[in-house]
């Protein structure tokens, strides 16, 4: 073997790698294997290639990199693995190891940097929104077609019973989701303190892209700005999973304590569902639930979503074991072909289920998923928006617009 | 050791690419490394180019190219096989059927579906939701394994006790033979006229040709299903209960036993509330009309009590039922908590001798200082003793193989057979002569030669042979035919 640096490049826990007995039960849960039928695009294949690189049996070539870089990091395999292989840890380690050798494209690095600068993000987003309205910008697939002009408000309170983590891009692009969460939380009798731009970005996308150092810096900043003992509620699955993992990421007692304060907003509401008024579900259109991977596979909180949504509508399942839609953080920018194929598969399923069930509202508790699906013409709401709408006007159906899954744009 | 790519590979690859396109032929070292093995413990296979055809014609093109360049070909589905049937020897063209995953046609009235070989077993049943039908063979790998692979191995599964193994559910199959010609074996309706070549093909482990379209029979969903979980002090008590249930005149849909070590491992994964202190658990599934099932539940409880059952848990709903099965179906993967590798046997013994054979198997493992775990289709007498080991410990492999051989001999001496459902592959071929006389084997080989006179279809599998597979011959201290 020619290169001496394999073992230096990759230093993964060999016990974790050899825990994989190659049984293959992960295969159907892997979106890239589902699309290609290619072992290199499967969890057990990726594990075998990591091991082979560490033992010198495989070369560190484009084929190897491609296998690692095409992983959506949805961690569907991890939830399905009977042997408990910590795949998320392994792929994260592999991605971090190759981040020097395979730097991210410039536009993504700029984008990830911008997430850490809330004011810049807000100003830039408003500029883009204005240009979109003046039709002076070409359509780019990764941006919502119509960014909001307003963006999020500053924290309304200086104190609250619970903290609502508002993040970076979501605070700017989907402030209405935070508004909906705040209103529903208040119905249960608790007050909400928004984390706001001072706390900013959670670093999930940075960690996802292999930028460990940035992720750690952001994690430390988030923890420092959210002192106290209130619970930290999160309405973005990706952010929630990241915040819950700060304990492991930083390894400090402080970070561990912080992570224990974090709950997905659905988990928190499910415990208080008695405080929510129960709507008459009959006659309302069902709601199709698209589970974000980091809610279902990582946080195991998809049951809470159903419990909460059940208050205002019939829940319609996609029955695909929560297979990833292809959004995957910045994945849709880095691997557009695979991301689009995964998205199209999901969209086809949504349209099919919608046609069979008559349900025309789709919900997903993660901004990445909803923006990704929106690029194919699927309008996606946050589950809490549906609930908030019902609480605001019990007689009306929220979100059942003709631009729902069955109609509307063709995705171009 | 660096394995040299055989000469003529460039020309072979050029022909394959011309036939099915450049993005459908993998030649990289990474791909060939991964396609060198399946879910079995056999390492060291050597894959040539890996092809992903998407039609019968493309499969024929791949076979034609392989044979023209003097190469063998090896079909592969999901690669979840446990006996090395998909492990490539001597740089063959690997033909992966994963892209032939279309459900071509479902005829609900006639209860037949034509599917591609790459359709995942459970996907077909999911596709049938709402029709009141399902595909009955349910190997534990059913969420991942393909119907083509199930056909090649004549796979079983818990519910084959009542419904029969895969062969009972394959009506017809379109096959590409090693001369690249295409034939259809079997009939959609009724039994084949003349020799049942379909029956010969199912279970052929890819040595007779490659299935490209399969007509499977669909089974009506039972009106009522009840799943019971019984725990016993010992695995012998559980086995006696199985005999008692069958003797009482019931044929349950499934009868599965897991011993304490397996239960403890799977409980970690599923949290289904399995009793961790029981010596063994027995899963009994009963289905049919409501009155009959209710009566059978009472009989099972009575037989359980006769054999010292602890508790009898009856699944209250579908979710609880699925959780109990999730534990059973993930058992092989879950036991990785105990040791990094396992050697799994698949012997079948007469049901009435189950208890006695299990005691002997456990004693054999103990003699060789190995942990053995038992999870098996008790109703069929199909044992799955798993010998747990860490290949990094010196001397372990020898003990594993010695114990494995004893286990096979114990089963055969008790009137049993080598394999219930996992196939022979590379792994068990050396044991074939324990079970079959030279005449028997010659007759089987004549059948193989009739399908594949060129000897190019997945050679070195099933039959005992002096030839070994690739450079694994270096492990000479290990009995010929098995590599770990």
Between positions 167 and 226 of A, the ones with CB within 8 A of B are: none
Nearest-Cα distance to chain B for A81, in Å, is 7
* Interchain contact A84–B (C-beta under 8 A): yes
Residue A260 lies in a domain: yes
Residue A215 lies in a domain: yes
Q: Which of A20, A36, A67 has the CB atom closest to B30's CB atom?
A: A67
Mean pLDDT of B302-317: 95
Length, in residues, of chain B: 484
Domains B224-334 and B338-446 share a fold: yes
Structural domain spans, chain B:
9-96, 103-220, 224-334, 338-446
Other CB atoms within a 10 A radius of the CB of residue B101 amount to 20
Q: Are residues A117 and A92 in the same domain?
A: no
Q: Which of A19, A57, A67 has the CB atom closest to B336's CB atom?
A: A19
List the domain range (segments joined by +) for residue A62: 6-98
Residue A234 lies in a domain: yes
Q: How much is the pLDDT for B2?
A: 54
Q: Are residues A282 and A265 in the same domain?
A: no
Q: Are residues A126 and A261 in the same domain?
A: yes
Q: How much is the pLDDT for B480?
A: 38
* The CATH number, out of the four listed (3.30.43.10, 3.40.50.720, 3.10.20.30, 3.40.1190.20), of the domain defined by the range B9-96: 3.30.43.10
Q: How much is the pLDDT for A280?
A: 72
C-alpha B410/C-alpha B262 separation (Å) is 22
Structure tokens at B307: 């054999």
In order, the DSSP letters of A7-55 are HHH----HHHHHT-----TTGGG-HHHHHH--GGGSHHHHHHHHHHHHH
Answer yes or no: do B33 and A21 touch at CB < 8 A.
Answer: no
Answer yes or no: do A49 and B333 touch at CB < 8 A.
Answer: no
Instruction: Assign domain B103-220 to its CATH architecture.
Output: 2-Layer Sandwich (3.30)
pLDDT at B352 over 90: no
Contacts of A98 (CB under 8 A, 6+ apart): A9, A65, A68, A69, A210
The CATH topology of domain B338-446 is Alpha-Beta Plaits (3.30.70)
- pTM for the whole structure: 0.90
Q: How much is the pLDDT for A142?
A: 57
Q: Which of A22, A40, A85 has the CB atom closest to B31's CB atom?
A: A40
Residue A219 lies in a domain: yes
Tell me the count of A-B CB pairs closer than 8 A: 105
Tell me yes or no: is domain B224-334 CATH 3.30.70.2190.
yes
Domain boundary among A235, A269, A303: A269
Answer yes or no: do B342 and A21 touch at CB < 8 A.
Answer: yes
> For residue A54, what is the domain's CATH number?
1.10.1060.10
The count of domains in chain A is: 3
Q: How much is the pLDDT for B471?
A: 37
Confirm whether the ipTM is greater than 0.95. no
Residue A1 lies in a domain: no
pLDDT at B443 over 50: yes
Answer yes or no: do B80 and A37 touch at CB < 8 A.
Answer: no
Structure tokens at A58: 């495989």
Q: Which of A19, A25, A40 has the CB atom closest to B144's CB atom?
A: A25
Mean pLDDT of chain B: 91
Q: Are residues A281 and A265 in the same domain?
A: no
Q: Are residues A298 and A256 in the same domain?
A: no
* Interchain contact A22–B (C-beta under 8 A): yes
Element (H, E) at B48: none
Q: Are residues A302 and A331 in the same domain?
A: yes
Q: How much is the pLDDT for B453?
A: 96
Answer yes or no: do A23 and B145 touch at CB < 8 A.
Answer: no
Confidence bin at A112 (pLDDT 50/70/90): confident
Mean pLDDT of A148-173: 77
C-alpha A294/C-alpha A299 separation (Å) is 6
Q: Which of B26, B33, B99 has the CB atom closest to A52's CB atom?
A: B33
Q: How much is the pLDDT for A398?
A: 52
Residue A400 lies in a domain: no
Q: Are residues A263 and A288 in the same domain?
A: no
Residue A404 lies in a domain: no
DSSP H helices, A117-211, are 118-133, 169-173, 175-187, 196-199, 204-208
Nearest in space to B153 (alpha carbons), one of B240, B251, B40, B260: B40
pLDDT at B81 over 50: yes
B206-239, pLDDT tens digit by residue? 999 999 999 999 999 999 999 999 999 999 999 9
Comparing A66-75, B129-138, B315-324, B340-349, the range with the smallest average pLDDT is B340-349
């Amino acid at each position: 073997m020619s290169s001496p640096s394999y073992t230096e490049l990759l230093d993964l826990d060999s016990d974790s790698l050899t825990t994989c007995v190659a049984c293959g039960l992960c295969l159907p849960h892997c979106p890239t294997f589902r699309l290609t039928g290619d072992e290199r695009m499967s969890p057990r294949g990726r594990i075998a290639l990591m091991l082979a690189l560490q033992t010198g049996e495989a070369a560190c070539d484009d084929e190897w990199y491609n296998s690692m870089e095409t992983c959506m990091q949805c961690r569907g395999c991890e939830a399905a693995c009977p042997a408990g292989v910590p795949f998320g840890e392994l792929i994260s380690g592999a991605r971090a190891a190759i981040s020097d050798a395979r730097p991210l494209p410039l536009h993504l690095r700029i984008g990830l940097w911008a997430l850490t600068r809330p004011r810049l993000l807000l100003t830039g987003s408003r500029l883009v929104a204005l240009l979109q309205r003046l039709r002076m910008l070409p359509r780019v697939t990764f941006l919502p077609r119509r960014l909001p002009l307003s963006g999020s408000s500053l924290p309304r309170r200086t104190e609250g019973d619970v903290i609502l983590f508002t993040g970076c891009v979501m605070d700017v692009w989907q402030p209405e989701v935070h508004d909906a969460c705040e209103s529903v939380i208040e119905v249960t009798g608790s007050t909400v303190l928004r984390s706001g731009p001072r706390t900013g970005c959670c670093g999930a996308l940075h960690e996802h892209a292999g930028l460990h150092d940035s992720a750690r810096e952001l994690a430390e900043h988030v923890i420092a700005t959210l002192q106290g003992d209130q619970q930290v509620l999160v309405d973005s699955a990706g952010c929630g999973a990241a915040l819950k993992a700060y304990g492991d990421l930083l390894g400090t007692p402080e970070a561990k304590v912080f992570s224990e304060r974090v709950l997905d907003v659905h988990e928190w509401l499910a415990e208080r569902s008695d405080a929510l008024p129960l709507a008459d579900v009959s006659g309302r259109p069902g709601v199709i639930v698209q589970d974000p991977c980091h809610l279902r596979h990582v946080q195991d909180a998809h049951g809470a979503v159903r419990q909460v949504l059940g208050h205002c509508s019939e829940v319609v399942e996609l029955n695909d074991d929560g297979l990833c839609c292809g959004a995957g953080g910045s994945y849709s920018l880095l691997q557009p072909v695979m991301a689009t194929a995964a998205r199209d598969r999901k969209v086809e399923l949504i349209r099919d289920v919608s046609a069979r069930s008559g349900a025309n509202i789709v919900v997903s508790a993660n901004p990445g998923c909803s923006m990704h699906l929106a690029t194919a013409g699927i309008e996606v709401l946050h589950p809490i928006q549906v609930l908030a709408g019902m609480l605001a006007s019990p007689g009306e159906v929220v979100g059942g617009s003709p631009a729902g899954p069955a109609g509307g744009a063709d995705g171009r | 050791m660096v394995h040299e790519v055989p000469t003529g590979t460039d020309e072979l690859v050029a022909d394959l690419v011309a036939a099915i396109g450049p993005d459908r032929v993998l030649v990289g070292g990474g791909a060939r490394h991964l396609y060198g093995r399946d879910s079995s413990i056999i390492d060291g296979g050597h894959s040539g180019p890996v092809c992903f055809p998407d039609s019968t014609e493309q499969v024929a093109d791949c076979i034609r190219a392989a044979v023209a360049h003097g190469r063998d070909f090896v079909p592969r589905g999901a690669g979840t096989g446990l006996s090395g049937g998909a492990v490539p020897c001597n740089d063959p063209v690997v033909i992966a059927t994963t892209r032939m995953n279309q459900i071509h046609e479902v005829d609900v009235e006639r209860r037949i579906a034509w599917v591609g070989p790459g359709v995942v077993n459970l996907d077909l049943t999911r596709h049938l939701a709402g029709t009141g039908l399902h595909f009955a063979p349910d190997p534990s790998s059913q969420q991942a394994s393909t119907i083509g692979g199930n056909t090649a191995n004549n796979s079983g599964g818990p519910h084959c006790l009542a419904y029969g193994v895969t062969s009972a559910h394959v009506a017809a199959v379109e096959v590409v033979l090693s001369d690249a010609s295409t034939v259809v074996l079997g009939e959609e309706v009724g039994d084949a006229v003349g020799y049942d070549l379909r029956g010969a093909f199912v279970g052929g482990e890819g040595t007779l040709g490659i299935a490209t379209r399969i007509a499977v029979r669909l089974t009506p969903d039972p009106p009522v299903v009840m799943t019971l979980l019984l725990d016993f002090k010992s695995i012998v008590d559980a086995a006696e209960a199985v005999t008692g249930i069958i003797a009482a005149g019931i044929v349950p849909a499934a009868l599965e036993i897991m011993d304490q070590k397996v239960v403890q491992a799977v409980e970690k994964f599923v949290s289904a509330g399995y009793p961790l202190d029981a010596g063994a658990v027995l899963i009994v599934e009963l289905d049919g009309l409501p009155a009959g099932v209710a009566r059978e539940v009472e009989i099972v409880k009575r037989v359980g009590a006769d054999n010292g059952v602890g508790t009898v848990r009856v699944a209250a709903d579908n979710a609880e039922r699925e959780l109990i099965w999730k534990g059973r179906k993930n058992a092989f993967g879950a036991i990785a908590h105990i040791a990094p590798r396992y050697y799994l046997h698949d012997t079948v013994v007469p049901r009435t001798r189950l208890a006695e054979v299990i005691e002997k198997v456990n004693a054999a493992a103990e003699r060789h200082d190995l942990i053995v775990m038992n999870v098996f289709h008790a109703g069929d007498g199909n044992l799955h003793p798993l010998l747990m080991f860490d290949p990094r410990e010196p001397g372990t492999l020898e003990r594993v193989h010695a114990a494995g051989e004893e286990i096979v001999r114990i089963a055969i001496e008790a009137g049993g057979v080598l394999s219930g459902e996992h196939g022979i592959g590379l792994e068990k071929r050396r044991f074939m002569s324990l079970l079959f006389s030279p005449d028997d084997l010659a007759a089987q080989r004549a059948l193989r030669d009739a399908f594949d006179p060129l000897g190019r279809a997945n050679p070195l599998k099933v039959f005992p042979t002096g030839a070994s597979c690739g450079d694994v011959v270096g492990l000479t201290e290990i009995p010929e035919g098995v590599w770990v």
